[in-house]
Amino acid sequence: MLSGADERMVRRAAREVRAGMTVNLGIGYPTLVVDYLEPGLPVCMHSENGISGQGPALPFEQADRNLIDAGGAYVSTLPGTAFFDSAVSFALVRGGRLDLSMLGALQVAANGDLANWIIPGKYTPGVGGGIELAQKACRVVVLCTHLDKRGQSKIVAQCDLPLTAPACVDRVYTDMAVIDVTDTGMVLREIAAGLSVDEVIAATAAPLLIDENELATF
């Protein structure tokens, strides 16, 4: 179950997805976005193990043993689904046909650098398709908690973890804020209902540009 703040984050992030887009949802919070899309919105879900037009997840009883998404969940087809091999799947990503990639993060830096695949000496599972999804999607947004488990900000001036891809993130959705990465730095666009701007600033280890008049709540 999502907390109220997390649920608001995911629901807000779902508004990124617009008609006609081809979208890849990474493991973690991004996967949940699909449950918050406007019903009937004509989007095409991509899974990097070789699916376009992926349908909803299925429970054990209805699962097809040959049909999983890249996160290992059993999924379904829709009218218009296509299957292809892994080379075609990443050709789609690197070739510029993936409109939107939603990813999790360990750290996002003020310039859009993303670290989400390795904590040297501690967490070394390999990168999967994460680098290409971060580096080559037309638009990259991150969904993550604002703070890590030890209370440290994931939004940082510079990543100290090894990068997934440099300057790739366009926007960050957290349980506390919506932040755009711009040429002049990070801009605070929205804050979670019930929080003050100062609380968000205090929880953020990167400089934030703020126009209080423009600031929305989500």
- Parallel/antiparallel/unpaired status of strands 185-191 and 216-217: parallel
For residue 18, the cross-strand partners are none
* Radius of gyration of the chain measured on its C-alpha atoms: 17
Nearer to other proteins, 44 or 178 (CB): 44
HSE of 165 in the Cβ direction (CA atoms, 13 Å)? 19
Give the sign of the dihedral formed by CA 40, CA 17, CA 175, CA 137: positive
192 in Cβ contact with 161 (< 8 Å) = no
Is residue 94 at the binding interface for other proteins, with CB under 8 A as the rule? yes
Residue 209's φ and ψ, nearest 5 degrees, are: -85, 135
Nearer to other proteins, 168 or 206 (CB): 168
Is residue 138 at the binding interface for other proteins, with CB under 8 A as the rule? no
Is residue 198 at the binding interface for other proteins, with CB under 8 A as the rule? no
Is residue 118 at the binding interface for other proteins, with CB under 8 A as the rule? yes
Is residue 1 at the binding interface for other proteins, with CB under 8 A as the rule? no
User: What dihedral do alpha carbons 18, 218, 131, 38 form, nearest 10°?
Assistant: -30
- Footprint of other proteins on residues 139-178 (CB under 8 A)? 162-166
Is residue 28 at the binding interface for other proteins, with CB under 8 A as the rule? no
Q: Which of 16, 38, 48, 214 is catalytic?
A: 48
Nearer to other proteins, 87 or 216 (CB): 87
Q: Of the ranges 131-139, 152-160, 179-187, 197-205, which one interacts with other proteins (CB under 8 A)?
A: 131-139
Nearer to other proteins, 24 or 153 (CB): 24
Q: Which of 10, 43, 105, 181 binds other proteins (CB under 8 A)?
A: 43
61 catalytic? Reply is no
57 in Cβ contact with 74 (< 8 Å) = yes
Residue 35's φ and ψ, nearest 5 degrees, are: -75, -10
Q: Of the ranges 32-40, 123-131, 144-152, 174-182, which one interacts with other proteins (CB under 8 A)?
A: 123-131
Tokens 């997805």 map to which residue? 17
Nearer to other proteins, 61 or 212 (CB): 61
* Rounded-to-integer distance, Cα 5 and Cα 116, Å: 22
84 in Cβ contact with 46 (< 8 Å) = no
Is residue 135 at the binding interface for other proteins, with CB under 8 A as the rule? yes
List, by residue number, the catalytic residues.
Answer: 48
- Residues at the contact surface with other proteins, assessed by CB under 8 A: 19-20, 22, 42-44, 46-53, 60, 63-70, 72, 74, 77-98, 118, 124-132, 135-136, 162-166
